[in-house]
Amino acid sequence: MIYVKAAPGDTTDSVIRKFTRKVIAEGLLLEFKKKEFYQKPAEVRKEAKKEVERRIKARKRNRSNRNRNRQTNAKYSY
């Protein structure tokens, strides 16, 4: 549950902004959007598998970039 305490000098707009920031930080909007419609268990597994594959691909890309940077820096080291 998200609580926002209004300080004595806060306007309603500032309190609403604080609340919105907390909602976004906790990821409630994404959770509600995911649960808005029913998904079959097979669809949930398929999405999870895609997410894992995406993460692996990103890690490989980052590793290759790091290795590429190391190789280029090695040329100029004395």
Q: What is the pLDDT of residues 40-74, one digit of tens each?
A: 999 999 999 999 999 999 999 988 887 777 766 65
Q: What's the pTM?
A: 0.51
Q: What is the pLDDT of residues 11-29, one digit of tens each?
A: 999 999 999 999 999 999 9
What is the spatial distance between Cα 47 and Cα 22, in angstroms, rounded to a whole number? 27
What is the spatial distance between Cα 24 and Cα 22, in angstroms, rounded to a whole number? 5
Domain ranges for the chain, please list them. Answer: 12-76
